[in-house]
A and B are shown apart, each in its own frame.
Chain A
Amino acid sequence: MKIENTKAQMRKGVLEYCILSVLKDEDAYVAEILDTLKDAKLLVVEGTIYPLLTRLKNAGLLNYRWEESLSGPPRKYYGLTETGKLFLKELNTTWSELQNAVNLVTSQKTPK
């Protein structure tokens, strides 16, 4: 059992949820998603996000459109699909339940 694996496993589950959350209100291109995630220290390196985005897109949770950019290559703007929105809703519930549960468990475990 490697700590890296456990950490990565934890983060990965959360990461997908977070990506979907970032796109909740408006479409964003990868750099914007990355900025949000990096600001929150959820991501250390950018590489991790690409396979995740592709997976979510292939799962039909995300779609994208191309937009020209002035400073660089054309940008892929990702947005939530209807399924994605439902998925996110589901995850929201799960997350708050999990949060409560984890809070409950971890606060109990702390020494008095």
Chain B
Amino acid sequence: MNKTVNINLAGIFFHIDEDAYLKLQRYLESIKRSFTDSQGRSEIISDIEARIAELFSERVKHDKQVIGIKEVDEVIAIMGQPEDYLVDDDIFEDEPQSTSYKKSAPSKKLFRDTDNSYISGVSSGLGHYLGVDAVWMRLLWIVLTIASGGTFIVIYILFWILVPAAVTTAEKIMMTGEPVNISNIEKKIKDGFENVADNVSEAAKNVSKSVSGAAKKGSSSIKSSSKNFFDTIADIIMFFFKVIAKFIGILFIIIGASALIALIIAFISFNIVDIVHFPWMDFVDISNSGNTPPWLVSLFVFFGVGIPFFFLFYVGLKILINNLKSIGNIAKFTLLGLWLFSVIALVVIGIREASEHAINERSVQKNTLQIRANDTLRIKMAENDVYSSNLHRNDGFKIANNENGVKTIYRSDITILVKSTTDSIATISIEKSADGRNYEKAITRAKNINYNYIFNNNELVLDSYLSTATENKMSDQEVLVTLYLPINSVVYFDKSTEDFLSYYDDNLVSSKYANHYVKLTEDGVTCDDCTAEDFEIDIDTPNIQINEDGIQIQSDENNIKIDVNGVKAESEKVKVNINSDGVSVKSEE
């Protein structure tokens, strides 16, 4: 049993077996590609079709008869193989005049060689293009894939998608860089006529174009065999432009490809560690106070950054390979849309994230410190095993397990502020603050800050860190410890408090008083055991030097120096010198 097809050949209707039909179609199309438009292809083909129709009608005895493979074979035997049609001048071009063809340098094009492929023919295609054996290209791919941790597969797939396969004879010839002409086509057809049958109309178009192009080139180069001097110069300039363009193309490909690889590695590792769980993931999670899923953010970043690089890669490839397959408008606009969406989404997430810090709220608690008038209050920071002081006091934070083994955020943003009070009792105020999207959230977070102190035996031990549960996220939690100390009381700040004492002016006890006994007075503080030495200013910058030798201030042209020798002041026009010799003033005018 056989499926039949109805065909209209030169206006005559035929039933034909499907396999016979395919054979006939292949035959006609391979003939079609032997001719060019200038030779009157369509007319020749319609004549041939008419003749075949005639031959078929001779063989069909009645209306119901179906044309089979046998009839088609007979007709082909009468008509001749496609190479029998090649009676035109071009058949002889591989002989004497072939020199004129060498001048029109065959332009190699990159195709995937699907005939010699392991996977998709990318390697053998590149091999043809670069004039290297495909084995080396395959080795290179394997090496690059292993070296890049597998991500080079993506580049391979991009090549696979973007580089067209050599389907037609013309493309197969172009791939190897041979000029496309009838004799080469004939050769190819002889080599593997049966394999090349699809997409033939396209091929025929290609062939006819290149053949007519080659023919034109051939004849014109004969006419003006001596090239114009300026043409040569133009050729040289064009050559350099081409080289530069190719170079830029290669650069684009390298940049695009490496950025894509880096992004893919980053994306994969970022999302895989979510399962594997690396310690630094906590930081990402805690900082992310907006509660956007990290994988979503990473996806947006991936698209937002990756798509421009993909286009860079694509453009580079396009510059380098002129027959690159277009990724199609749908793909282009999808990518553009995806990119816009990712960028907008990132902006929205950013705003959300920022709004998490929009409101800063405080929770204050005040307590009195029972100290007697003559007692000295000693203040020190608590040492902590869990939270060692290796994280210097700054805006950073640390995640560690607390004594109960629960993950906790630790921060050392503690500020100590000392104020004097006329009251007879000392007061301590602990002010906790945190950011949040709204008032409630901020205040809740502020209240969720754990901060403690111990007051015992005239000794105040302050925690050197604050802690809060991880679900409160990192929202700029801070603690301000304000000490209201009665006038005339004496306070000793331990060395450990040095880093925590406020820098602000309203703080009576600045960090320079640490490790000293300080007495609060109406005007401020006095330090009994502070020696003058402690207040030595030691500045050493390129322009100003204040040290034990004296003072020196320098600018480009002016110079003041005060030291044991005297005073020396020099400017562009005036020189003043006071030393053991006396006073001298020199002016240029």
Beta-carbon contact of A73 and B10 below 8 Å: yes
Q: What residues on B are CB-neighbors of A57 within 8 Å?
A: 40
Summarize B's interface: helix, strand, loop or mixed: helix
Beta-carbon contact of B57 and A72 below 8 Å: yes
Q: What residues on B are CB-neighbors of A46 within 8 Å?
A: 51, 78-80
- A9 CA to B88 CA, complexed, in Å: 9
Q: Give the total of B residues in contact with A, Cβ under 8 Å.
A: 31
Also in contact, A45 and B78, with CB within 8 A (given A73-B10, A73-B54):
yes
Interface membership of B11, Cβ < 8 A: yes
Beta-carbon contact of A71 and B57 below 8 Å: yes
Beta-carbon contact of A50 and B95 below 8 Å: no
Q: Which residue of B lies closest to A71 (CB)?
A: B57
Interface membership of B562, Cβ < 8 A: no
* Interface positions of B (Cβ within 8 A of A): 9-12, 31, 35, 39-40, 43-44, 47-48, 50-51, 53-54, 57-58, 77-82, 84-85, 87-88, 91-92, 95
Beta-carbon contact of B40 and A47 below 8 Å: no
Also in contact, A45 and B53, with CB within 8 A (given A52-B87, A54-B40, A54-B43):
no
Also in contact, A45 and B80, with CB within 8 A (given A1-B95, A12-B87):
yes
Q: How far is the CB of B427 from chain A (nearest CB, A)?
A: 112
With contacts A47-B81, A71-B57, A71-B58 known, what are 12 further pairs, Cβ within 8 A?
A: A15-B87, A46-B51, A46-B78, A47-B79, A47-B80, A47-B82, A54-B43, A54-B47, A55-B40, A55-B88, A73-B9, A75-B50
User: 6 interchain pairs (CB within 8 A)?
Assistant: A15-B87, A45-B78, A45-B79, A46-B79, A47-B81, A73-B53
Beta-carbon contact of B10 and A50 below 8 Å: no
Interface membership of chain A positions 35-70, coded 1 if the CB is closer than 8 angstroms to chain B and 0 otherwise: 000000000111110111111011000000000010
Beta-carbon contact of B85 and A47 below 8 Å: yes
Q: What residues on B are CB-neighbors of A8 within 8 Å?
A: 87, 91
Within 8 Å by CB of B87, from A51, A69, A72, A74, lies A51
Interface membership of A76, Cβ < 8 A: yes
Q: What residues on A are CB-neighbors of B92 within 8 Å?
A: 5, 9
Within 8 Å by CB of B91, from A5, A47, A52, lies A5
Beta-carbon contact of A76 and B80 below 8 Å: no
Q: What residues on A are CB-neighbors of B10 within 8 Å?
A: 73
Interface membership of chain A positions 71-100, coded 1 if the CB is closer than 8 angstroms to chain B and 0 otherwise: 111111000000000000000000000000
